[in-house]
């Protein structure tokens, strides 16, 4: 059986442009503790969650209203032996119009069940994607820094 990268799918009643803008407004749904920028191709930004999680991302694919991909250039996860498990992984958001809604396909390429942080990181993404980003897109307010 092939291993599966962590993924989540959301469907929202919002236009693709609005979805794209909100995804790139990282401080509205992931964490307010951001340095750098996440608004255009080749932008770089880092996020911190206390001493538990640090990661630096670079926007390596940026197709307005359709797709954004972040390359994790550096990471330090204090709760696993291999502290840099995220380094070299990619975080992807694909946006498509789907019947009467907008579909967001989120994939963290390289976040596989065989790596140590998979359980905790999957739970974190569940909260940030399925709850905080979803609330931002449907209610107008996310919950950055939930954990």
The mean pLDDT of 34-55, rounded to a whole number, is 95
pLDDT tens digits, one per residue of 64-113: 999 999 999 999 999 999 999 999 999 999 999 988 899 999 999 999 99
Q: Which pLDDT score, from 0 to 100, does residue 146 have?
A: 58
What pLDDT is stored for residue 1 in this prediction?
46
Where do the structural domains in the chain lie, given as residue ranges?
7-139
The predicted structure's pLDDT at residue 147 = 47
Q: Which CATH architecture has domain 7-139?
A: 2-Layer Sandwich (3.30)
What DSSP line would sit under 48-91, residue for residue?
EETTTEEEEEEEEEEETTTEEEEEEEEEEETTSSSTTTTTT-EE
Distances (CA, A) of 145 to 36, 54, 66: 17, 13, 26
Please list, in sequence order, all residues whose beta carbon lies within 8 angstroms of the beta carbon of residue 32, skipping any fewer than 6 positions away: 144, 145
d(CA 92, CA 111): 12
Percent of the chain with pLDDT over 90: 93
């Amino acid at each position: 059986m092939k291993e599966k990268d962590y993924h989540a799918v959301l469907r929202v009643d919002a236009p693709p442009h609005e979805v794209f803008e909100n995804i790139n407004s990282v401080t509205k749904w992931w964490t307010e503790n951001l340095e750098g920028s996440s608004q255009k191709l080749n932008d770089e930004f880092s996020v911190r969650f206390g001493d538990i999680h640090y990661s630096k991302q670079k926007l390596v694919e940026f197709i307005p209203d359709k797709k954004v991909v972040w390359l994790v250039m550096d990471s330090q996860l204090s709760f696993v032996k291999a502290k840099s498990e995220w380094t070299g992984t990619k975080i992807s958001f694909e946006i498509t119009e789907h019947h009467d809604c907008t579909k967001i396909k989120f994939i963290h390429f390289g976040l596989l069940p065989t790596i140590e942080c998979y359980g905790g990181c999957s739970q974190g993404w569940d909260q940030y994607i399925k709850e905080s980003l979803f609330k931002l897109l449907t209610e107008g307010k996310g919950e950055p820094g939930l954990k």
